Amino acid sequence: MRVDKFLKISRIVKRRPVAKAMGDAGRIEINNQIAKASTPVEVGDYVTIYFGNKIMTVQVADLRQTTKKMEAAELYRIISEKSVENN
């Protein structure tokens, strides 16, 4: 599954075009490698997302084509989440 689709289905990012733009801007890493929106993601991969003021690292736990809102958090485990101060 593409990383932009995974981010949308897992509801880490609310809209797929936003996830695609983040990938195209180099703000997503998979296993410490910069990833484009089309880069495939697999179970066990570590995905780091650089939001504007937050860095979040998750491990992919499951891949599904669709999911309900209540089950979306089952698709990943949060490894770290930290705020970044802009000085």
The model carries a pTM of 0.88
d(CA 83, CA 70) in angstroms, rounded, equals 25
Q: Which domain CATH number covers 32?
A: 3.10.290.10
Total number of domains in the chain: 1
Mean pLDDT of 61-83: 92
Report pLDDT digits (tens) over 6-46: 999 999 999 999 999 999 999 999 999 999 999 999 999 99
pLDDT at 84 (0 to 100):
80
For residue 87, pLDDT beyond 90:
no
Secondary structure of residue 56 in the 3-state scheme: strand
What is the domain range of residue 11? 3-83
